[in-house]
Amino acid sequence: MIAVDTTVLVFAHRRDSGWHAAAADRIRELAERDEKWAVPWLCFYEFLAVVTHPQIYDPPTELPQALAQVSAWLESPSLVLLAEGPGYEDRLLSILRESRVVGARIHDARIAALCLYHGVEELWSADRDFTRFPKLSVRNPLTDVQEMR
């Protein structure tokens, strides 16, 4: 199963992003396949925080539009939402010990732990910080574009 990180979601949504077309195509391809794909709930929350932030985007996405975008993605019948469950904390603590990340990067560790906890085969992200978690396979689908099967 492929999971999608916040960066790809933001680029897919924001038409003013130089990566918009590629990101929107990748998300559309995932959403239209029969195979399961995933988004950690944490990434949807972060997506909303980023696209509606007036210091990040001028103009920012209005909250109703951002919520409508999340709702549209949630309509994909093959989408799996990743959330914490019993035993997740063990995975997170292990990742934190191994990676030794601190501060804001703990958020990335939480996403990595969710992916590993749910058996994600590959995380799609444009965020290089995920390379700090060697047990998680990460690919930038915007620079490494391949035709999906």
Q: Structure tokens of 78?
A: 């093959």
pLDDT digits (tens, 9 = 90+) for 87-104: 999 999 999 999 999 998
Q: Could you give the CA distance from residue 65 to residue 140 in angstroms, rounded to a whole number?
A: 26
3-state secondary structure of 85: coil
pLDDT tens, residue by residue, 126-136: 999 999 999 99
* Torsions phi, psi for 61 (to 5 deg): -70, 135
pTM attached to this predicted model: 0.92
pLDDT digits (tens, 9 = 90+) for 27-43: 999 999 999 999 999 99
Band of pLDDT at residue 56, cut at 50, 70 and 90: very high
pLDDT at 145: 53
Sorted by where each starts, the structural domains of the chain and their CATH numbers stand as: 2-139 (3.40.50.1010)
